[in-house]
């Protein structure tokens, strides 16, 4: 259950898309919002705080600004660990909202830093890529959950179910299959297409039984899972993609971050990423 929303800013317009989206979610589900920015030096703290205060009022209005908490952290060894240490102290139930790139007072809070954050933050991170229309975001659309047959990719299922229950929307299990691999399965064992559909169907049924809620599924055919998911998310009433940052194949071949961030950069909807406990440091 979400009990705290955290928006990360570096002072840039692009990073403030996360503040706008987090504020809208916080207002909708009546949760507190915290805006975090990292200052490079202690002397920068007053100016940074004043800038955030003014921007909150000017862009979000006085009421939303009054309901937001501002936290300015002084950078330690790395921006990512400075932020992660603060979030860890808040305990469970926090969701971090951030844009996928920014060029502000603290250099780039995201971009390469985003991948670093995904390794160090234990809770879910909602990442807003460049193709996302923040003004069009809504909470009542479908949730896409890409899985690849690995336990680590399926770690995102619980988060997707919880989000669906909290916001009254339906998870869709998505299995993206390489057509060449599918053809090999069909030639070698017969019914490769049936086998892949069965996996998605079984996974949806399992989540349906666990959550006691509606869960649907679909199978996509593409060599590039991130592109396939982006097209699929563009074609229907989709609010969100929920994914693990590590898996066996496809969009998650590497330990944490970079493949998932490739999906973020193409997705027309925000991507809620979660790192399994065994991944990262």
Residues 18-37 have a mean pLDDT of 91
152 part of a folded domain:
yes
Segment 209-239, tens digit of pLDDT: 999 999 999 999 888 888 899 999 998 799 9
Asked whether 25 and 139 are in contact (CB, 8 A), the reply is yes
Angle between helices 225-234 and 258-266 (to 10 degrees): 30
- Is residue 261 domain-shared with residue 154, that is, in the same domain? yes
Residue at token pair 């925000």: 270
Sign of torsion over alpha carbons 216, 141, 279, 130: positive
Q: How far is CA 95 from CA 87, 169, 227, 241, in A?
A: 9, 18, 26, 15
Q: What is the CATH number of the domain that holds 121?
A: 3.40.50.620
pLDDT above 90: percentage of residues in the chain: 46
Confidence of residue 206 (pLDDT cuts 50, 70, 90): very high
List Cβ neighbours of 119 (8 Å cut-off, separation of 6 or more). 80, 256, 257, 275, 279, 280, 281
Segment 165-175, tens digit of pLDDT: 988 999 999 99
Mean pLDDT, the chain, rounded, equals: 83
Q: Quote the number of domains for the chain.
A: 2
280 part of a folded domain:
no
Please state whether beta strands 125-128 and 271-274 pair in parallel, antiparallel, or not at all (unpaired).
antiparallel
51 part of a folded domain:
yes
Of 111, 128, 145, the one marking the end of a domain is 128
Q: Identify the domain containing residue 203 by its residue range.
A: 136-274
Instruction: For residue 170, give the H/E element and its range.
Output: none
φ, ψ for residue 176 (rounded to 5)?
-100, 120
- Is residue 179 domain-shared with residue 155, that is, in the same domain? yes
Q: How far is CA 73 from CA 22, 52, 250, in A?
A: 19, 13, 36
Segment 33-85, tens digit of pLDDT: 999 999 989 999 999 999 999 999 999 999 889 989 999 999 887 888 899 89
Alpha-carbon span 183 to 185, nearest angstrom: 5
């Amino acid at each position: 259950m979400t009990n705290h929303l955290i928006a990360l800013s570096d002072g840039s317009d692009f990073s403030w898309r996360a503040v706008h989206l987090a504020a809208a979610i916080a207002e909708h589900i009546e949760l507190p919002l915290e805006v975090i920015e990292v200052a490079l030096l202690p002397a920068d703290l007053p100016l940074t705080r004043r800038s955030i205060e003014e921007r909150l009022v000017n862009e979000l209005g006085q009421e939303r600004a009054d309901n937001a908490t501002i936290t300015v952290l002084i950078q330690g060894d790395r921006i990512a660990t400075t932020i992660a240490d603060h979030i860890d102290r808040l305990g469970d139930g926090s969701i971090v909202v951030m844009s996928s790139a920014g060029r502000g007072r603290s250099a780039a809070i995201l971009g390469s830093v985003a991948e670093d954050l995904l390794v160090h933050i234990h809770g879910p991170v909602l990442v807003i890529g460049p193709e996302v229309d923040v003004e069009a975001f809504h909470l009542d659309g479908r949730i896409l959950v890409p899985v690849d047959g690995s336990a680590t990719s399926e770690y995102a299922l619980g988060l997707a179910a919880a989000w669906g229950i909290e916001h009254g929307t339906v998870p869709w299990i998505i299995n993206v299959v390489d057509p060449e691999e599918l053809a090999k399965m069909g030639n070698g064992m017969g019914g490769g297409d049936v086998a892949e559909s069965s996996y998605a169907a079984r996974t949806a049924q399992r989540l349906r039984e666990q959550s006691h809620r509606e869960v649907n599924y679909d199978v996509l055919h593409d060599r590039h899972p991130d592109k396939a998911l982006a097209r699929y998310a563009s074609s229907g009433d989709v609010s969100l993609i929920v994914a693990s940052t590590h898996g066996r194949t496809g969009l998650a071949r590497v330990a944490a971050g970079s493949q998932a961030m490739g999906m973020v950069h193409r997705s027309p909807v925000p991507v809620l990423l979660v790192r399994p406990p065994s991944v990262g440091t």
